[in-house]
Structure 1
Amino acid sequence: MLRFLLPLLLFVTVSLNLSAQEVKTVSAHSEWLEKWSNSKAYTMEALATIPDDKLSYRPTENQMSVQEQIQHIAGNIYGLSRRFLDHQPPGFDEEKLGAKLSAQTLNRKELTNLLSDAYAFGAAAVQNLPEERWNEPVSNFFAGPKSRRVVIYLLQDHATHHRAQLLIYMRLLELTPPRYRGW
């Protein structure tokens, strides 16, 4: 019996040791940014799948249109990043952004650029916020006292929520949503 247990114990020990060596420590920044990049790609692909003549589609009168969903995602990214992650890049044109976010009709290129630029803005906000500041409380947060970390998670969660609405719109339009990528 000992003859069988000793090799097994040696095999398990070596396997665990090799597995432990393969695990890499990943910073919160890089982990979040990878997920954010995948979120952007997934949302951009969903938008690209919706035909131009369906950008004004809304399932019911009380719901946002496809365009409004994109504007809302972008506006939230800009707003949270600027207000709660202290991202204030020089030369930022708030008036120009406001015009895009409130426009009644944007063409595909304008919507695509708005969304892509918003995701880049959110990524820069997180990249420029040192990890040691992630646990700082933010003031005047609409949901009560929260840390900047919660705001960072909210960027992702909010974009996911509204992308999911777009995916439902796509199903209602008999379009095939892009393949899921949530990692």
Structure 2
Amino acid sequence: MGIKKSLLIELERETQNTRRVLECLSDEHLLWRPHPKSMSVAELCCHVVELHNWVSEALVKSVFDFKVDYKRLQTNSIQEIRDILEAGYPLNKQAIENASDESWEEEWTLQAGDWIIAKVPKAGAIRFIINNHIIHHRGQLTVYLRLLDIPVPGLYGPSADDQQ
């Protein structure tokens, strides 16, 4: 299996997992936050979805500069968040399909103006900067679900709620 095929499988499965978490939420939950220093449900959902779309928006560039390229996703509608995830999926898939195997070895830079945050091969960026970051924040969302007494969907196997 080539890198492209493995990335496409991961893209599909991680998008599906995010979809499952978003399906548990409604607009009434969006302003809730577990602590004043925590993101709200809306902020966290938006961040997870915007990270998914970095595959087609950030990885296609050799440099992604927060001061130039980043626009924070903001909405107060869970349906709009879901729609943005769905609209981004085919674009993300196409970005992976259009990339050559060699391009995954090319250096990718994440920066904020003059501050270099990371310089990694694109294969490392999709793994470390994007997918691991998605998984981390989606995990936070599952804790939010638990705190809101919303059944948590199983993502990598059954959850405690799936086994009742």
Runs of 5+ consecutive residues of structure 1 not aligned to the other structure: 1-25, 88-96
Aligned pairs, number: 145
Contact in 2 for aligned 1:136/1:148 (Cα 8 Å): yes
The separation in 2 between residues aligned to 1:36 and 1:115, in whole angstroms, is 12
1:149 equivalenced with 2:119 (yes/no): no
Aligned letter for 2:85?
L
Q: CA RMSD in A?
A: 2.5
Q: Which has the higher strand share?
A: 2
Aligned match of 1:131: 101
Identity %: 24
1:20-169 equivalence runs, <5 A:
26-79=1-54, 81-86=56-61, 98=71, 101-103=73-75, 105=76, 107-141=77-111, 142-153=116-127, 154-169=129-144
Contact in 2 for aligned 1:70/1:115 (Cα 8 Å): no
The separation in 1 between residues aligned to 2:85 and 2:110, in whole angstroms, is 26
Q: Which has the higher helix share?
A: 1
Contact in 1 for aligned 2:145/2:152 (Cα 8 Å): yes
3-state SS in 2 of match to 1:34 = helix
**TM-score, normalised relative to structure 2:** 0.76
1:171 equivalenced with 2:143 (yes/no): no
CA drift at 1:140: 5.0
Contact in 1 for aligned 2:31/2:41 (Cα 8 Å): yes
**TM-score, normalised relative to structure 1:** 0.69
